Structure 1
Amino acid sequence: MAFLALLPGILLFLLAYFRARKLLFPDLFFGSSTALLFFLFGIFSASLHLPQNQPQHYIHKISSEKAHFLKLSILETLKPDAFSDKYIAEVNAVNGKSAHGKLLVLLPKDSLKKPFLEGEQLLISADLTPVPPPLNLHQFNYADFMNRKGVWRQANLRQGTFKKLQKKESGLKTSAANWRRKISAALKKHHFEQDELSLVQALLLGQKQDISAQTYNNFAAAGAIHILAVSGLHVGIIMLMLHWLFKPLTGLKNGKFLKTFLVILCLWGFAVLAGLSPSVVRAVTMFSFLAVGLEIKRRTGTLNSIFLSLLLLLLVKPGWIFEVGFQLSYLAVLSIVLFQPLLNRLYTPANRILKYFWDLLSVTLAAQLGVLPLSLYYFHQFPGLFFLTNLLILPFLGVILIMGVLVIFLALVDMLPSFIAETYGIIIKILIKTVDWIAGHEQFLFKDIGFSLAEVLSWYLFLFTAFLLWKSFGYKRLLAVLISAIILQSVYISSEVRQENRLIVFHKSRSSLVATQHNDQLMLYHNLKSPAKDLKLLQNFMVGEDLQQIREAPLKNIYLQKGHFLMLIDSSGFLPKQTPFNTHLLLTGAPGINLERLLMNLKPAAIIADGSNYPSVIKKWKKTAKAKHIPFFYTGEDGAYILE
């Protein structure tokens, strides 16, 4: 279907192209047809990546009625959770028949079992289930996150079996993973502390799995989270250093071509070493085009390089457009290219030292201006000391990266002097202490900021029109700024006058939480032993809904929501003799009731079981409700129950 839509787009583009060749001045027809062609190409590429359009994808070769044997190759190690190590694997075969597709593999943590390594091949027998969505509103959607990576099923080896095969997968990524393991082993010989070693692996090898939660949170609070991911910042610094290192080559014949070729070759060598992760591939692709743009020495050449890399990446991997890192990287670079020259107009330092720090500050401000709306939307916080973090850390990040490469090389050849290792360890420790000190000033970290998608779009519209006006003043541009300001105000006014009235049964293991939401206030009924406002799920809900007030009270037996009653039966099993019509029945605390007998007298509109019940009891209730043709909802599978 997408291909059939693409054909008219190609014909229209060819018609516009040959027509444009005969025109003295180009018109909108050619540009519009080109934009339409790219749009249709995007739809075609996206449809090709969907499993339903790939006959050899493993989802077409599995069923829920029987067990399957799958041959896998481990592609990537993910950050583990409290119970399992996580991996992304490529399916090679299902029941001996060739197949492909990515699979999330969960390996239960066990001190007797060694974790999987990239390149290892496995034979597993396990049920393949969809990656579960979040069970409560405004929680991180891990299912969507995995789907955008092309992962549509998961295999939990806690309920399955596996066998490691002797043969290992060969290839560029496997070789890079082996090199990273050798580097990590070589560095461990020089007694780096765990925090220092994990930071070196993150900065230079793109491996963030071993970073502690405390260190990660401190970097986020200090506005330095971008330092932990090998992405645009690191690749940009490396590109500028390579640009300076190979500058003497420009004096040779075809020197510019040779210089650009060597810069791009070194960048891709770094990408291979960092594991060819999506963030690294995106950054290296973008800066490979920028390396060409730098030689052109025109701002339009730089912008064209950015958009060409963007187009190429999205044609190859259209799902990347939904990834946060992709969006932030390109917005930061675009914002620097567009806004930094304008900021430099405001002030021209008198000496080179002031100019260096002003350039650094203006780049930081320009990047922050471009990513701020999206950062608030995804992370709901703003580090007020971000400029101080960048002024203290960015000037030395290049030194940290260069010295890190030297330390890695000397460690690999077993020629790393102890004083160099100790010096580098001290530098990394100073970096961690600096970030900890900045993060310690919590009064400058603005958290729990509610920010909607409508606000993001309206703010970017305002910034774009303000940029055009700032660049060149004009009546039409001023009018565009005023219109965008009115749209922005309308978004905020509409959010203030919203009318939200609903009842929610949240999922919480071993507890019951029932809430009524009225506009910007939440009334929460629960049986928790500690204040409910400390729960992460409620904090996420309050921020996501931009709620201003929460009140708490013990659980009640009956709730009313717009003519619908929610009746609670707890562990006592008590039920009133008379019950209202159109009642929703909430079972909590695994009450010892005979549900079949109860349903003979009571005809509820629906039965809800929350996380305070035993799984074995829920299975019986579900079976009984199905036999009586009554809808049954279990919050541990179906998520929070909402009664509008």
Structure 2
Amino acid sequence: MTYPVVRFVIALITGIVTYETIALPNWPIYLIGSIGLFAFLQGLIPLKNRSVTQNKLFQGFGALILFFTLGWYTTWMHDERNTPTHLTRQTDSLVAYEAVITGQPEARARSYRVLLSLSRGKTASGWRPVSGAIIAYLDKATAAGIPVNAPVYGQRWLVYGTPVPVEPPKNPGSLDYKRYLRHQQIHYQQFIRPHQRLVLSTGNPNPVKAWAISLNQWADSVFAAQISSRTEYGIVKAMLLGATDSLDPDTYTEYATAGAIHILSVSGLHVSILFLALTWVVSLVKRKARYPWIWPAVQLYILWFYALMTGLEPAVLRSAGMFTVLILAKAMDRPQSLANSLAVSALFVLFFSPYTLFSAGFQLSYLAVAGIGTWHPGLYQSVTFKHPWVNKLWEVSSVALVAQLITFPLAVYYFHQFPTYFLLANPVVLVLSNVLLYTGMAALLFSWIPYVNTLAGFFLQKIVWLMNGSVQLVGQLPKAALENLWLSAEELVLLYALIFAVVWAITSRKIMAPGLAACLSFWLAGSLLMDDYQLDRQQRFAVHYLPHYTAISVTDGHKATLLTDFAPSKDQRTFDFHLKNTFGQWAVDQITPVDLTEDSTQTNIPIARTEAYTLWVVHGKSILIINKLNRHAFWRLPAVVDIAVIRKNALRNWQQLDGRVVARNLILDSSNSPRLTARLLAEARTRHIPCFSVNQQGAFLAEK
């Protein structure tokens, strides 16, 4: 069987990646597209001196070039920055704007997160058409403490204030939220006080989206009424409706540790479960059906009803599209190929939303389905058991094994951890998630029947309770998750090449397959050993971004001293969000915190300490930490210090440093007020004083 659509998707993906990574003008792409069109048309014209095979080669080559061009051009069309009215192309700052809520609002602890689509904006020169999307956070309370009415889809707002660009990551290894939002065509954000917003009207920009959101909210109200426990309700809402705002953070961590995090979001897995159940039911009744087309129609109806119920989540749409292709192919008695079905669904998804390609969910879901479809049958059939229940357990375990094998390099690349006992948790979780999905659909179906809906809610809660218990047991095992695993892009490619080479060596008799696997394994091992060699000898000084606090690290090999006025032991979540990935990327396994606000004997680095400043010598460099600038204090300092870190708003104007401190590097850390920092930077530019701001530029790094 041939896979022509797979080749076209690869060409389309190449065009998308080319647009994203290489800045090219339009004319070379148009030229390449013209060549492709000419080659394709040449293949359609029969000539006496050209064989059928040659015609097909012309057609195939031309089609690939055209799909490459289509990938580039589609991405260019979806890049809203190319629109003349886009917010990124405005020369004047907005002071007000009109916008419509185009996504389902998300309730958070102190604010509502909404997606706004601009229609026009006001600058100093007046109102003008402006386009673009903004992530806005609406404060839940007014100045008087009165709760704000929750925003709804379709509301048109008049907003006063200036949206600001989304900032890049400020610490090494941190999540690149700016890149993540850019792939969703979001470049700006704003925190909005209630008095800055005026609701002008409410409508339905997209009737289908409005219907999906209404259905999602109805299902949410049903589950909220049926499930009394907030923990279980949060999991049901996340798994079946795609909303994680009610999910407990500790529960999320437990599922991640057990390797079952994929269960907590609506994805292709849930659609697969529903599709398999529908296929089984149809196989039972189709033989007796008078009109065979009815059952495919029923399958499609239930499949897309679930997609609507999740609020048309992108992951569900991708999977629903793929299974729609399978259902239609079977209904029309066309040959079914998982590879071509996957490719067709990917083709539609990427054509209408090319930036989806850069989503981790898209990559992981397609890899998992492709791996399971390709490798699972052979692995499952390689071992058989006499007892049917043992055989069924092996079937579920082999699915988890194949899915983990094909996705773990990408999961490590994105999330930097690997669940050690995934084979213990996943079979139980997969079985219970099947039951949970069916029970959840039944709870919605019978929600209008008294007592029956109560019973369905009771079973739903108990299923989640049992699933939580199994996940917690696995998560409490020693070394349940291997953390701080980092792969470079080159190592990711090498690891996937090695996996495919090993599978090829096992499943084929080619002489070169084992040799290729061995070469790739040596190459990968050499790359990892070189990384370890460099990390063993690293010496770094860093002033990290930690909002409202000072965080200075001195790293030597795999050990680091953290000089800070922040207590990591009291707020582990803040430490993990801002600094955990940085030290993980540097392979630091021992962090010694030193409190800057107290005299400490934990380290012998400081050589002078007063109330106003602390002087350190790190890796042969002098580090001055300025806490306070008294007018008449006399400082005994070297003539020139290498690095001076100013913290806690100690500096109010640059004259305070005259005749007192001379530094090669002046750093304003993140404990300083952003407003004060902005003023000092503006003054520094006029006085030609080189200065580094952690608030604005991110972490300051110095390596020996």
TM-score when scaled to structure 2? Answer: 0.82
Matches within 5 A, 1:160-559: 161-170=196-205, 171-190=207-226, 192-247=228-283, 248-249=285-286, 255=292, 259-291=295-327, 301-412=337-448, 416-498=452-534, 500-528=538-566, 535-536=575-576, 537-553=578-594, 556=606, 557-558=614-615
| 2:400 aligned counterpart, secondary structure | helix
Between the aligned partners of 1:620 and 1:159, the Cα distance in structure 2 is: 27
Match 2:165 to one of 130, 133, 142? 130
Between the aligned partners of 2:419 and 2:178, the Cα distance in structure 1 is: 29
Between the aligned partners of 2:195 and 2:457, the Cα distance in structure 1 is: 44
Between the aligned partners of 2:663 and 2:382, the Cα distance in structure 1 is: 69
CA deviations over 1:494-532 (Å, ceiling 9, x no partner): 212326444211122443222233454434333445669
8 Å Cα contact 2:139-2:194 kept in structure 1: no
Between the aligned partners of 2:442 and 2:569, the Cα distance in structure 1 is: 51
Runs of 5+ consecutive residues of structure 1 not aligned to the other structure: none
Between the aligned partners of 1:400 and 1:452, the Cα distance in structure 2 is: 38
8 Å Cα contact 2:668-2:677 kept in structure 1: yes
Between the aligned partners of 1:144 and 1:328, the Cα distance in structure 2 is: 18
| 2:549 aligned counterpart, secondary structure | coil
Q: CA RMSD in A?
A: 3.3
8 Å Cα contact 2:258-2:480 kept in structure 1: no
1:237 Cα deviation after fit? 0.6
The one-letter code of the counterpart of 2:648 is G
The one-letter code of the counterpart of 1:119 is G
8 Å Cα contact 1:61-1:94 kept in structure 2: no
Is structure 2 residue 90 aligned with structure 1 residue 67? no
CA deviations over 1:391-449 (Å, ceiling 9, x no partner): 21322322221221121122257674433332333223222333233323353232333
The one-letter code of the counterpart of 1:10 is G
Aligned to 2:150: 115
Between the aligned partners of 2:448 and 2:673, the Cα distance in structure 1 is: 54
1:358 Cα deviation after fit? 1.7
1:330 Cα deviation after fit? 1.0
Distance 1:355 1:615, change over 3 A: closer
Between the aligned partners of 2:139 and 2:443, the Cα distance in structure 1 is: 35
| 1:411 aligned counterpart, secondary structure | coil
The one-letter code of the counterpart of 1:546 is A
Between the aligned partners of 1:321 and 1:239, the Cα distance in structure 2 is: 24
1:153 Cα deviation after fit? 0.8
8 Å Cα contact 1:239-1:291 kept in structure 2: no
Between the aligned partners of 2:352 and 2:418, the Cα distance in structure 1 is: 33
Between the aligned partners of 1:407 and 1:332, the Cα distance in structure 2 is: 29
Is structure 2 residue 181 aligned with structure 1 residue 146? yes
Aligned to 1:589: 648
8 Å Cα contact 2:273-2:434 kept in structure 1: yes
CA deviations over 1:128-165 (Å, ceiling 9, x no partner): 11122332222222222221221111121039611223
Please, which moves more after superposition, 170-179 or 349-358? 349-358
8 Å Cα contact 2:625-2:645 kept in structure 1: yes
8 Å Cα contact 2:98-2:156 kept in structure 1: no
8 Å Cα contact 1:450-1:545 kept in structure 2: no
Aligned to 2:104: 76
Percent identical residues:
23
TM-score when scaled to structure 1? Answer: 0.89
1:280 Cα deviation after fit? 1.7
Between the aligned partners of 1:16 and 1:521, the Cα distance in structure 2 is: 60
8 Å Cα contact 1:133-1:141 kept in structure 2: yes
Runs of 5+ consecutive residues of structure 2 not aligned to the other structure: 1-23, 45-49, 597-605, 607-613
8 Å Cα contact 1:377-1:452 kept in structure 2: yes
1:28 Cα deviation after fit? 7.2
Distance 1:616 1:88, change over 3 A: closer
8 Å Cα contact 1:507-1:636 kept in structure 2: yes
8 Å Cα contact 2:393-2:427 kept in structure 1: yes
| 1:104 aligned counterpart, secondary structure | strand
The one-letter code of the counterpart of 2:140 is K
Between the aligned partners of 1:192 and 1:108, the Cα distance in structure 2 is: 28
| 1:443 aligned counterpart, secondary structure | coil
8 Å Cα contact 2:106-2:245 kept in structure 1: yes
1:20 Cα deviation after fit? 5.6
Aligned length, in residue pairs: 641
Please, which moves more after superposition, 27-36 or 402-411? 27-36
| 1:117 aligned counterpart, secondary structure | coil
Please, which moves more after superposition, 437-446 or 526-535? 526-535
Aligned to 2:611: none
8 Å Cα contact 1:78-1:88 kept in structure 2: no
Aligned to 2:668: 609
Aligned to 2:695: 636
Aligned to 1:12: 35
8 Å Cα contact 1:102-1:151 kept in structure 2: yes
Between the aligned partners of 1:562 and 1:430, the Cα distance in structure 2 is: 54
Distance 1:294 1:473, change over 3 A: farther
